[in-house]
Amino acid sequence: MMKIYTKKGDKGQTRIIGKKIVDKDDARVESYGTVDELNSWVGYTISVLTPETAVLKDELEGIQQLLFDAGTDLATLNDDPKRSFIFNVDSVKWLEGKIDTYTEAVPAVQKFILPGGNQPASALHVARTITRRAERHIVTLQGEDDINKDVLVFINRLSDYFFAVARYANMLGKNEDILYRNSKPVFR
Amino acid sequence: MMKIYTKKGDKGQTRIIGKKIVDKDDARVESYGTVDELNSWVGYTISVLTPETAVLKDELEGIQQLLFDAGTDLATLNDDPKRSFIFNVDSVKWLEGKIDTYTEAVPAVQKFILPGGNQPASALHVARTITRRAERHIVTLQGEDDINKDVLVFINRLSDYFFAVARYANMLGKNEDILYRNSKPVFR
Amino acid sequence: MMKIYTKKGDKGQTRIIGKKIVDKDDARVESYGTVDELNSWVGYTISVLTPETAVLKDELEGIQQLLFDAGTDLATLNDDPKRSFIFNVDSVKWLEGKIDTYTEAVPAVQKFILPGGNQPASALHVARTITRRAERHIVTLQGEDDINKDVLVFINRLSDYFFAVARYANMLGKNEDILYRNSKPVFR
Ligand code: B12
Ligand code: B12
Ligand code: B12
Ligand SMILES: C[C@H]1O[C@@H](n2cnc3c(N)ncnc32)[C@H](O)[C@@H]1O
Ligand SMILES: C[C@H]1O[C@@H](n2cnc3c(N)ncnc32)[C@H](O)[C@@H]1O
Ligand SMILES: C[C@H]1O[C@@H](n2cnc3c(N)ncnc32)[C@H](O)[C@@H]1O
Ligand SMILES: [Mg+2]
Ligand SMILES: [Mg+2]
Ligand SMILES: [Mg+2]
C-alpha cells in the first residue's frame, strides 16, 4: 500500500517542484496552499448546488482544473532549468467571456450588495473572498521572487467572475440582492 | 454594460478610499478583505438557517450591514481631509445587549465547549473564528497606522456575540453542547 | 450572570495561559486561533454528515477534543514553571492507523484528484487545507519560540488523515474521485 504520509515534513520544511527545500510558511507555499484551500472550497460549493443552479457544475469543475494549473506554476521556480510555466492568458479571456455573460443576464446595480442569497450564491461569495485572500499571498510572493504574471491576472479576474456568477446564481434561484444601506453609487 | 473588471489591479496594487494606491497585501487591505470574507460567511450562515433558527435572519443581516460600515472605515485613512469615520460605539452597545440576552437564555457552562452542534450553530462558531482572524489583521494594521478604535472594539465583541448566538442556535434546535473533556473551569 | 465579554482585549492585546500578555497578532495567538478555526470547521463538517457518512461522527468529535489539547499546548510557554505540555505522540499513532485503514479501503490513485465530491467529503477536503494553514502558522511560531514538537507532527499527519477520510467519505457515498487532467503520476 502507498503511504501518503512520508513523515518528511514533520519538522516544518517541505519540497516545491524541482525539489528545492523551503519552510512551510514560505510565501510560495502560502500561495499555493491558499489556492488549494480555494480549490477545496469550490469543490464544496459544487456539492451544495441545487437543481436550479446545477447548470454551473461543469464550469466550476473547469475552474478547479485551472486552479491546479495555477498551483503548479506557483510551486515552480521561474529559473527552474527543467520546467517552464504552463498557465497562459487564454484562461483569463475565457473568464472574461463568462463575466460578461453573467453581468448582462442580471439586473444592473450601482450600490454594493450584501454577499449572500441562496446557498450556492452565498458559497460563491465566500469563494470570491478566498480568491482575494489567495491574491494577497501571491502579491507577497511576487515581492520576493519572480512568478508567472498570468496567474496573478487570472486570480484577480477570478474574484470578479465569482461576484458575477454569485449574482447569476441568485437570479437562477429567484433571490433578489439586498443593497448595502449606506452605499454610495460605486459601480459605474 | 458596466464592466466590473477594470484590469487596474492586475499587477498587484489597488486603491483605497480617497484613491491612495497600496499593495494588495497591505495590512489595510488584509483587514477589510478579511472583513469581507467574514461578511460573506455570515451571508452563507443565513442561507443555512433552519425553520427553528430562522428568527436570527434579520439580526444577522443587520450585522452584514454593520460589517460594511466597519469595512468602509478600515478602507479610509485617518487623516483623509475629505472623509471622517462613520462607525461608532452604538453598535457595540447593541451587540452587548444581544450577548446578554442569549447568555441568559442558555444553560451556564464552566468548561470550554466543542464548537459545533446543528448546522446553523456550527456555522456561527466558524463565524466566531473568522471574526477573530479579522481582529488579528486589524491589530496588525493598528500597529502601522491610525484606525477607528471603535471598529476594533466592535470586532472583539462580535466574536463573543457569535459564541453566545451559536449556543442559542443549539438551544433552539434542542442540541446540547458537548464539553471539552480536559477543560478546567475556565468561565467564571 | 457570567459575562463572556470582559472588555480586556479591546485594545488589541490578550493573555495566553500563564497570564503573559501578548499582541493578538502574535504568532502564538495566530496558531491557536487557526486551530480554533479548524476545530469549528470540523464541527461544521460533522453537522453536514449524511446517513451514509454518519459513521464518521465519533471519530471527528475525537479529533475536536485533540485539537483542544493541541491548542492548550500552543497557548502555553515552553518555559512555564507551573505547566508542562500535555500532547503526545500517541495521537499521531492513532491517526496513522486511521489513515492506513482508509487508504486500503479506497481505490489507489496515482494522480492528484479534484478536492470535492459529496458534501461531507468536500467539507473534509476544506478541513485538510485549513489544517495546512494552521501548520504554516505553527511553523512561523516555531521559528520564534520553542513549541511542543508533537503538536506539529500531529497537525502534519492530520492533513493526510483528512485526505484519506475525504476519499473514504466519497466511497461511502458512491462518488468517484475526478482526476486533475494535467497531473503527473505523483503518488508512488
Ligand atoms: C505541488 C504539490 C502539491 C500541490 C499540487 C498542486 C497544484 N498544482 O496546486 C498541492 C499543495 C495541492 C498538493 C497537495 C497534496 N499533496 Co502534494 N506535492 C506537490 C509536489 C511539491 C509537486 C507535485 C507535482 O506537481 N509534480 C509534477 C511535476 C511537474 O513534478 P516533477 O517532479 O517535475 O515531474 C517529473 C517526475 O514526476 C518525472 N515523472 C513523471 N512521471 C513519472 C512516473 C514515474 C514512475 C517516475 C519514476 C517519474 C515520473 O517526470 C516529470 C517531469 O519532469 C510533490 C513533491 C515533489 N517535490 O515532487 C508533492 C507530493 C506529490 N504531494 C504529496 C501529498 C501527500 C499531497 C496531499 C495528499 C497532501 C495533503 N494531505 O493535503 C495533497 C493531495 C492533493 C490532491 N487533491 O490530490 C506527496 C505524495 C506522497 C506519496 N506517497 O507519493 C508528495 C510526493 C510530497 C511528499 N510528501 O513527499 N501537492
Ligand atoms: C472599499 C471598497 C470595497 C470594499 C467595500 C466595502 C466595505 N465597506 O468594506 C470591499 C472590499 C468589500 C469591496 C468589494 C467589491 N468591490 Co470594491 N471598492 C472599494 C473602493 C476602494 C471604495 C468604495 C467606497 O466605499 N466608496 C464610497 C465613498 C466613501 O467613496 P468616495 O469615492 O469618497 O465617494 C465619493 C464619490 O463616490 C462621490 N460620488 C458619490 N456618488 C456619486 C455619483 C456619481 C455619478 C459620481 C460621478 C460621483 C459620486 O462622492 C462621494 C463622497 O465623497 C472602490 C475604489 C475607489 N477607490 O473608489 C472599489 C470599487 C467600487 N470596487 C469595485 C469592485 C469591482 C468590487 C467587487 C465586485 C470586487 C470583487 N470581485 O469582490 C466587490 C463587490 C462587493 C459587493 N458585495 O458588492 C470596483 C467597481 C468597478 C466598476 N465597474 O465600477 C471599484 C471602483 C474598484 C476598481 N476596480 O476600480 N470593495
Ligand atoms: C487558551 C484560551 C482559549 C483557547 C482554548 C483552547 C485551546 N486549548 O485551544 C481558545 C482560543 C479556543 C479560546 C476560546 C474561547 N475563549 Co478563551 N481563554 C484561553 C485562556 C488564555 C486559557 C484557558 C485555559 O486553557 N486554561 C486552562 C489552564 C491550563 O489555565 P490555568 O489558568 O493555568 O488553570 C489554573 C487555574 O484555572 C486554576 N483553577 C482550576 N480550576 C479552578 C477553579 C476555580 C474556582 C479557581 C478559582 C481556579 C481554578 O488551576 C489551574 C491549573 O493551574 C483564558 C485566559 C487565561 N489566561 O486564563 C481564556 C478565557 C478562558 N477565554 C475566554 C473566552 C470568552 C473565550 C471564548 C468565548 C472567546 C470567543 N468569543 O471565541 C471562546 C470559547 C471557546 C469554546 N469553544 O468554549 C474568557 C472567559 C471569560 C469569562 N467570563 O470567564 C477567558 C478568561 C479570557 C478573558 N477574556 O479574560 N480560549
Ligand atoms: C474593490 C476594492 O477591493 C480592494 N481589493 C482589491 N484586491 C483585493 C484583495 N485581493 N483583497 C482584498 N481587497 C482587495 C480594493 O480596495 C478595491 O478597490
Ligand atoms: C479566549 C482567548 O483567546 C485568545 N484570543 C483573544 N483574541 C483572539 C483572536 N483575535 N484570535 C485568536 N485568539 C484570540 C486569548 O488568549 C484569549 O484569552
Ligand atoms: C504536497 C505538497 O504540499 C506542500 N505542503 C506541505 N505542507 C504544506 C502546508 N502546510 N501548506 C501548504 N502546502 C504544503 C509541499 O510542497 C508538499 O510537497
Ligand atoms: Mg480585483
Ligand atoms: Mg475577544
Ligand atoms: Mg504534510
User: Residues A4-18: what's their mean pLDDT?
Assistant: 97
Mean of per-residue pLDDT scores for chain B: 97
User: Residues C127-143: what's their mean pLDDT?
Assistant: 98
Residue type, B57: K
CB C42 within 8 A of CB C131: no
Grid cell 460533522 — which residue? C46
Q: Which residues of A touch C136 (CB under 8 A)?
A: 24-25, 29-30, 33
Q: Which residues of C touch B133 (CB under 8 A)?
A: 33-34, 37
Give the orientation angle of helix B90-105 with respect to helix B149-172, to 10 degrees. Answer: 20
Domain ranges of chain A: 13-173
C136 C-beta closer than 6 A to ligand 6: yes
B178 CA from centroid of ligand 8 (Å) = 22
Taking alpha carbons only, the member of A185, A126, A180, A115 closest to residue B69 is: A180
Determine the straight-line distance between the first and last CA of chain B, rounded to whole angstroms. Answer: 58
pLDDT of residue A11: 98
- Which cell is B164 given? 453566545
pLDDT of residue B1: 76
Q: Binning pLDDT at 50, 70 and 90, where does residue B2 land? A: confident
User: Residues A119-137: what's their mean pLDDT?
Assistant: 99
User: Residues A146-157: what's their mean pLDDT?
Assistant: 98
pLDDT of residue C2: 84
User: How far are the Cα atoms of A128, A147, B29, B112 from residue A139, in angstroms, in the given order?
Assistant: 17, 10, 12, 38
- Which cell is B51 given? 425553520
Taking alpha carbons only, the member of A159, A182, A132, A168 closest to residue A53 is: A168
Atom of ligand 1 nearest to the CA of A33: 11
Residue nearest to ligand 4 atom 12, measured at CA = B33
B8 C-beta closer than 6 A to ligand 2: yes
Q: Binning pLDDT at 50, 70 and 90, where does residue B85 land? A: very high
User: How far are the Cα atoms of A49, C15, C138, C147 from residue C144, in angstroms, in the given order?
Assistant: 44, 18, 10, 9
User: Residues B54-79: what's their mean pLDDT?
Assistant: 98
Q: How far apart are CA A184 and CA C36, in angstroms?
A: 37
Grid cell 469615520 — which residue? B85
CB C116 within 8 A of CB C122: yes
A18: left (phi over 0), alpha (psi -120 to 50) or beta: left
pLDDT of residue C19: 85
B7: left (phi over 0), alpha (psi -120 to 50) or beta: left
- pLDDT, one tens digit per residue, over C144-157 is 999 999 999 999 99
- pLDDT, one tens digit per residue, over A44-56 is 999 999 999 999 9
C108 → closest Cβ in A2, A34, A44: A2
Contact C182 A30 (CB under 8 A): no
* Closest ligand to residue C188's CA: 1
DSSP calls for A108-138 = P-SS-B-S-SSHHHHHHHHHHHHHHHHHHHH
pLDDT of C80 above 80: yes
- Which cell is A21 given? 527545500
What is the DSSP code (8-state) at residue B113? B
Atom of ligand 1 nearest to the CA of C128: 72
Distant-in-sequence, close-in-space partners of A39: CB < 8 Å, separation ≥ 6: A64, A67, A68, A71, C114, C115, C129
pLDDT of residue A161: 98
pLDDT of B78 above 80: yes
Phi and psi of A8, rounded to 5°?
Answer: -70, -30
Three-state helix/strand/coil letters over chain C: CCCCCCCCCCCCEEECCCCCEEECCCHHHHHHHHHHHHHHHHHHHHHCCCHHHHHHHHHHHHHHHHHHHHHHHHCCCCCCCCCCCCCCCHHHHHHHHHHHHHHHHCCCCCCCECCCCCHHHHHHHHHHHHHHHHHHHHHHHHHHCCCCHHHHHHHHHHHHHHHHHHHHHHHHCCCCCCECCCCCCCCC
Contact C178 A25 (CB under 8 A): no
| Chain length of chain C | 188
User: Residues C44-61: what's their mean pLDDT?
Assistant: 98
Looking at chain B, the whole-number percentage of residues with pLDDT higher than 90 is 98
- pLDDT, one tens digit per residue, over B113-170 is 999 999 999 999 999 999 999 999 999 999 999 999 999 999 999 999 999 999 999 9
A181 CA from centroid of ligand 4 (Å) = 20
Taking alpha carbons only, the member of B14, B3, B35 closest to residue A115 is: B35
Pocket of ligand 5 (CB under 6 A): B 132, 135-136; C 9, 14-16, 24, 29, 33
pLDDT of residue C74: 98
Find the residue in C nearest to B48 (Cα): C48
- pLDDT, one tens digit per residue, over C86-122 is 999 999 999 999 999 999 999 999 999 999 999 999 9
CB C162 within 8 A of CB C41: no
What is the DSSP code (8-state) at residue A19? S
Element spanning A103, H or E: helix A90-105
Contact A117 B43 (CB under 8 A): yes
A184 C-beta closer than 6 A to ligand 2: yes
C116 CA from centroid of ligand 4 (Å) = 28
A12 C-beta closer than 6 A to ligand 2: no
The architecture in CATH of the region C13-173 reads Up-down Bundle (1.20)
Residues whose Cβ atom is located within 5 A of ion ligand 8: B 156; C 9
- pLDDT, one tens digit per residue, over B128-144 is 999 999 999 999 999 99
Determine the straight-line distance between the first and last CA of chain C, rounded to whole angstroms. Answer: 58
- Which cell is A152 given? 496573478
Q: Which residues of B touch A104 (CB under 8 A)?
A: 1
pLDDT of residue A49: 98
pTM exceeds cut of 0.90:
yes
Residue nearest to ligand 2 atom 50, measured at CA = A184
Element spanning B14, H or E: strand B13-15
pLDDT of A100 above 80: yes
Residues whose Cβ atom is located within 5 A of ion ligand 9: A 9; C 156
A161 CA from centroid of ligand 7 (Å) = 10
Complex ipTM over 0.95: yes
CB B72 within 8 A of CB A182: yes
| Chain length of chain A | 188
pLDDT of A1 above 80: no
- pLDDT, one tens digit per residue, over A57-98 is 999 999 999 999 999 999 999 999 999 999 999 999 999 999
pLDDT of residue C22: 98
* Closest ligand to residue C28's CA: 5
A10 CA from centroid of ligand 9 (Å) = 7
pLDDT of residue B19: 85
pLDDT of residue A19: 85
